Structure 1
Amino acid sequence: MRRLAPNLFDVNNRLYAHLLFWVAYYFYRVYMYIEYYEYSPITQFVELPVKVAVVYVHMYFLMPRLLRHKKYFYYGISLISLVFVATVLQSEVVRGMIASGIYQFNPEFLYSPRKFSATASHITMILFVTSAIKIMKDQYLLQQKLQKVESQRLRNELTFLKTQINPHFFFNTLNNLYSLVLNKSDKAADAILKLSSLMEYVIYESDKKKVSLQSEVKHLQDYVELEKLRFGTELKLEMVLPEEVAGYDIPPMLLIPLVENCFKHGKPDKNGLFTINIEATIKGKHLCFSTYNTKVSHPIERGKATSHYGVGLQNVMRRIELIYGKRADFNIKELPESFSLTVQLPLEDQRKEVPLEA
């Protein structure tokens, strides 16, 4: 997307900004003293180069080389010396105007304690103002840079977290397909097509920011059908999916790992029955997705309830947090012989984009 407004801190724009500042400063000084000095425009114009020089020496030499590196003693000495030299130079400029007949007063007044301290105070004030502007500008640029780095870090993390389906699944499915082919089963051809489609989705579609909910659900169904080949009759599976899912987008590979976790970590219960329930419903502008699976009974250690969830599930939880922030809801319920989760995600119209949240 092209930026509509120019960057104020680009080199060319920065030059214009500096020029505008000094022009504004010049007219401000003329306005302040025109009532007292008839030749204020000339005086301010002649004094301006001294002030410009001292400001840029301070901003681009003393601040970056001494103040930024916390060399406070040397910075203080250098600042005092700079103000002193600038005060003398400005006084000499005015002395030259007196010599040329523009001003009619005793030149010794320029070095009187009152006049000298007033000139030094004014130079110090302009250094303070310009330094404050530079510090605010540097802080703004730093903040912009940090936001850009953080945004890139989150995007890199999201890319990393888009983990593919466990490779063991593909190996196991290929073994099952091999058995089906050997037995000349009618299911072999359909299983190969499903596996091919799923692999294409995992490899090529997972890099996208979003895919259609219809595509995610379709490949979820393919994944479940392939897993059913592995477990055969020992698996009792119930899956309820909405009939109408068109018109919505969702980040890719967000639902499939949730189901993969059921097959990977689920086990038959004490009665020898391996049960998995999958349900997805659309309520208003939200997708409610839940899974349930039986597992081996074992004591749940305090503080370690998520230790057996698997990296895939933890990655999905982190992805949901990064993409949706507080707009999503993720609940997990673990019992000695069962594990269930429910995730509620805001659905986005295909014409809109899901904002990235930190």
Structure 2
Amino acid sequence: MTDNTEHIISDFLLNPRKRVYRHLLLQLVVFLITINVFWDTPDALIITPARIRSWAGYFLAIDMLIYVNAYLLAPRYLLKGRLLPYLITALGLIVLAIVTIGTLQTLFDDTRFESMPANPSVAVLNIVSSTISCGLLVAGSSTLVLFKHWIVDNRRINELEAATLQSELKFLKSQINPHFLFNMLNNMYVLIRKERPEAADVVYRLEDLLRYQLNDSMQDKIRLSSDIRFMNDFLNLEKIRRDSFCFTITQEGNIDGVWLPPLLFIPFVENAVKHNTDSENTSFVHLRFRVQEHRLIFQCDNSKPVAEGDDDDKSARVGGLGLKNIKRRLELLYPNRHSLEIIDNKQSYTVKLELDI
């Protein structure tokens, strides 16, 4: 029962299709707050043009108070933890609303102001009462914004945990599998039999690769340099396996100062290796990492076999995870802070990924 209620509330607050109903409900609340303008006493209903104009001004001022706070002040200051600027601007907004309400009601000849006693203490009491009332409206709208933000964050965290776990498990299954290990061990056996010095290098790189996948990839964030080292080991092992294969990794900017969630780039690199095997020509993979101000730019270019079919399932090209899963993970990790471009030509396949860091 509780879960169902929470679902109904969160759906009403977040569902774009119910935006109109949310605003209509808010307008109803504001109407109920401001309708007291038409009563001087509980049994004296006064509906005159002056009162209607006075109520309209009051209604619009309260609307301004709520909407400016909910859509401007709270997102800009409160949600970013800037409490002091928020309190100052919110207080200024409250003062503006009170002055606006008083001015409009005076201009529209509200009879209530004519009958009020000219007592300074009464005027101060009215100002304090109005300030508290407007403050409660601001606090209420801020609470609603914070509650909505909390629901969105909880959803994002839950989805991110599920997506991260799924991607890590699929990555481990697709990257380190018996067939891959068998090929590496077989290469080591051949190199040892021929007494080639590369045998020791294969053992070292394979050990480093396994250490990353079993330890580093389980962390929340790792250094970009660790990710690049893993990709270098992975591509070097692939180069030992294949005679006609070359790769480059270019780094620009402060790479060591960048921390990122693991496994962001490996699916693209795996995809580049998986789909560029060519028995007739030399295949290549070129990686580029560039850190510029607060932005990381990653590009992966790989060759494609000349005889590759045109009817490949492009949605499943990216590292066994699928392009859809990778896009979803990027949306969860970097909402509105990334761009992904994929260029699929006849002779090459290019991935361009930019992240705000």
Superposition TM-score, scaled by structure 1 size: 0.51
1:222-276 deviation line (CA, Å, top 9, x unaligned) = 11211111112x113233223742121011122222211111111328x623122
Does residue 1:214 correspond to 2:225, yes or no?
Answer: yes
Does residue 1:153 correspond to 2:159, yes or no?
Answer: yes
Does residue 1:345 correspond to 2:355, yes or no?
Answer: yes
Aligned residue number for residue 250 of structure 2: 240
| Cα distance in 2 for residues equivalent to 1:240 and 1:330 | 19
Would you say the 8 A contact 2:270–2:319 is kept in 1?
no
Does residue 1:201 correspond to 2:207, yes or no?
Answer: no
1:327-353 deviation line (CA, Å, top 9, x unaligned) = 111110001232111111223xxxxxx
| Cα distance in 2 for residues equivalent to 1:219 and 1:294 | 21
| Cα distance in 2 for residues equivalent to 1:158 and 1:283 | 27
Judged with a 3 Å threshold, the aligned counterparts in structure 2 of structure 1 residues 313 and 299 are, in CA distance, closer, same or farther, namely: same
Residue 144 of structure 1 and its aligned partner are, at CA, apart by: 6.1
1:23-77 deviation line (CA, Å, top 9, x unaligned) = xxxxxxxxxxxxxxxxxxxxxxxxxxxxxxxxxxxxxxxxxxxxxxxxxxxxxxx
Judged with a 3 Å threshold, the aligned counterparts in structure 2 of structure 1 residues 329 and 169 are, in CA distance, closer, same or farther, namely: farther
- Partner letter of residue 162 of structure 2? N
Does residue 1:294 correspond to 2:303, yes or no?
Answer: yes
Any idea what SS the aligned residue of 2:315 has? coil
Max Rg structure: 1
| Cα distance in 1 for residues equivalent to 2:240 and 2:231 | 15
Aligned residue number for residue 346 of structure 2: 336
Aligned residue number for residue 265 of structure 1: 275
Aligned residue among 269, 281, 301 for 2:290 = 281
| Cα distance in 1 for residues equivalent to 2:246 and 2:190 | 22
Matches within 5 A, 1:54-133: none
Judged with a 3 Å threshold, the aligned counterparts in structure 2 of structure 1 residues 190 and 345 are, in CA distance, closer, same or farther, namely: same
Would you say the 8 A contact 1:279–1:290 is kept in 2?
yes
Residue 217 of structure 1 and its aligned partner are, at CA, apart by: 1.5
Would you say the 8 A contact 2:270–2:318 is kept in 1?
no
Any idea what SS the aligned residue of 2:336 has? helix
Any idea what SS the aligned residue of 1:280 has? strand
Residue 316 of structure 1 and its aligned partner are, at CA, apart by: 3.4
- Partner letter of residue 157 of structure 2? S
Would you say the 8 A contact 1:258–1:313 is kept in 2?
no
Would you say the 8 A contact 1:333–1:341 is kept in 2?
yes
Higher helix share: 2
What residue ranges of structure 1 are gaps of 5+ in the alignment?
1-136, 348-358
| Cα distance in 2 for residues equivalent to 1:186 and 1:342 | 37
Would you say the 8 A contact 2:316–2:322 is kept in 1?
no
1:271-292 deviation line (CA, Å, top 9, x unaligned) = 6231222222222222211111
| Cα distance in 2 for residues equivalent to 1:322 and 1:150 | 6
Aligned residue number for residue 20 of structure 1: none
- Partner letter of residue 334 of structure 2? Y
Identity value in percent: 25
- Partner letter of residue 326 of structure 2? V
- Partner letter of residue 173 of structure 1? M
| Cα distance in 2 for residues equivalent to 1:319 and 1:254 | 9
Any idea what SS the aligned residue of 2:262 has? coil
Aligned residue number for residue 181 of structure 2: 170
Judged with a 3 Å threshold, the aligned counterparts in structure 2 of structure 1 residues 285 and 273 are, in CA distance, closer, same or farther, namely: same
Residue 152 of structure 1 and its aligned partner are, at CA, apart by: 1.8
Aligned residue number for residue 311 of structure 1: 320
CA-based RMSD: 3.2
| Cα distance in 2 for residues equivalent to 1:221 and 1:301 | 31
| Cα distance in 2 for residues equivalent to 1:243 and 1:221 | 18
| Cα distance in 2 for residues equivalent to 1:281 and 1:142 | 36
Would you say the 8 A contact 1:213–1:248 is kept in 2?
yes
| Cα distance in 1 for residues equivalent to 2:194 and 2:220 | 41
| Cα distance in 2 for residues equivalent to 1:255 and 1:149 | 25
Matches within 5 A, 1:9-48: none
- Partner letter of residue 294 of structure 1? S
Judged with a 3 Å threshold, the aligned counterparts in structure 2 of structure 1 residues 150 and 341 are, in CA distance, closer, same or farther, namely: closer
Any idea what SS the aligned residue of 2:237 has? helix
Aligned residue number for residue 237 of structure 2: 226
What residue ranges of structure 2 are gaps of 5+ in the alignment?
1-142
Any idea what SS the aligned residue of 1:222 has? helix
Aligned residue number for residue 110 of structure 1: none
Residue 148 of structure 1 and its aligned partner are, at CA, apart by: 3.4
